[in-house]
Structure 1
Amino acid sequence: MAQAAAGKQNWFAIWVSVAVVAIVALVIALVVWMNNAATDPGTPPSGSGINQETGAIVVGSGEQTLDTYIDFMCPICNQFETAYGDEILSLVNDGTITLNIHPISILDRYSQGTEFSTRAANAMYCVAEADPDAAVPFMQAMYENQPDENSTGLTDDEIIAIAAGVGVTGIDTCVTEQRYASFVTAKTKDTPLAPGRSQIGTPTVAINGETIAEFPAVGSFASLFE
């Protein structure tokens, strides 16, 4: 009897062990799935003006590069554009640089749950896909209409109207369904400058792949490429 009881106890222990292993495996699989889902880039935007690998909206074709990481809710990004935007476009137009604009979304928490940063970055891709030449004018117009932090941000209809103001129509569905929101989120969490790090600030600026900590005096931006 004692041996039989011991046998039953052993089988019970084995089944318990198997169950525990199965549960642990299930939890691990669930965590992996959730992590993959969180970083799944979803549908990438296409078009000649978009680098799908880096997420950059590419303007110009100069030998040297300027990469800017922006959030449309970021007031300092707006200040950067106001201070240096014309100089940067001059460098693009004279063939000195290629401008790579990375619209990311680190400030969604400042739009009262509307995820304005993500929606605005998504719209930037919608515009760049529809008309690459309109990407910079759209960015400029978005800054001109930039909402305050801790507001609800612009509505989708307002963003669509801004796009129409720079000549881009027919992107309503792309904007309202947030077609590239997952792509924006993935590129925000895994930028070329800080892969796997979600704490990159905006604006972050890189000259020929090297991040700079200080900006030159207004009127002297070209000195960064001499």
Structure 2
Amino acid sequence: MSARPQRATAPVRVPAGASAGGDGIVVGTGPVTVDVYVDFLCPFCKSFERTSGPALNGMVKDRAISLICHPVGFLDRLSTNQYSSRASAASACASDGGRFVEYARALFAGQPPEGGPGLTDDELIELGGPAGLTGPAFGECVRAGAYLDWTAYVTRKAVERGVSATPTVLVEGVSVRTDPQAIVAAVAAAAP
């Protein structure tokens, strides 16, 4: 008899701004839902942020989309200190401080190379300063690993949804190419 894969059970604590299912951070209030799955250690995700981030941010600002960012821990094996999960958990701490978008940008800007130790907790906290996270609550949250179980949940939910690589973009639940033109076209097609 083979073992069944464990289904994702909701964590006890979810960050401020979490989606209804608790597995992502919602940015914006538009009528079209865009889900983006990223890993903060993934170099392709860093490139995606640079090329498609402006288009996504513009659609959020124009209230065309509700962007749900799902920071997963797929690449923990490519660091010596589970950097993917720790960075995702730190981004949840940033969401509690109302600075998720700014902190996610800082994480990509300061992205360590794959195969190394990743950033330390102190370095993750230091990235919060330029993102506007200057109070003690952010640092305490990061050091406590307060959202590591949330990150595990986000990662399991992504796998359950069929996401196997990052970045992955879904517009109204349908996978689209990760280039800005494809995303904008899919959003336009899905708009009410």
With the length of structure 2 as denominator, give the TM-score of the two structures: 0.86
Instruction: Show structure 1 runs of 5+ residues with no match.
Output: 1-30
Deviations 1:13-68 (A, max 9, x none): xxxxxxxxxxxxxxxxxx99xx68xx555432242x11252411000000001110
> What is the aligned-residue identity percentage?
30
Deviations 1:167-206 (A, max 9, x none): 1132112111211101211221123xx4276x62111110
State the distance in 2 between where 1:55 and 1:159 align: 21
**Residue correspondence of structure 1 range 89-108 to structure 2 within 5 A:** 89-108=57-76
Cα RMSD, aligned residues only: 2.2
- Residues paired across the two proteins, number: 183
Partner of 1:186 in structure 2? Answer: 153
Partner-residue secondary structure (3-state), 1:100: strand
Partner-residue secondary structure (3-state), 1:51: coil
* Match for residue 128 of structure 1 among 95, 98, 109: 95
- Residue pair 2:167, 2:178 contacting (<8 A) in 1 also: no
Runs of 4+ in 1 over 3 A off after TM superposition: 39-42, 218-221
Q: Does 1:175 align with 2:142?
A: yes
Partner of 1:215 in structure 2? Answer: 178
Instruction: Show structure 2 runs of 5+ residues with no match.
Output: none
Deviation at 1:129, TM superposition (A): 1.3
Partner of 1:73 in structure 2? Answer: 41
With the length of structure 1 as denominator, give the TM-score of the two structures: 0.74
Q: Does 1:224 align with 2:189?
A: no
- Residue pair 1:41, 1:185 contacting (<8 A) in 2 also: no
- Which structure has the highest helix share of the two? 1
- Residue pair 1:104, 1:118 contacting (<8 A) in 2 also: yes
Deviation at 1:215, TM superposition (A): 3.4
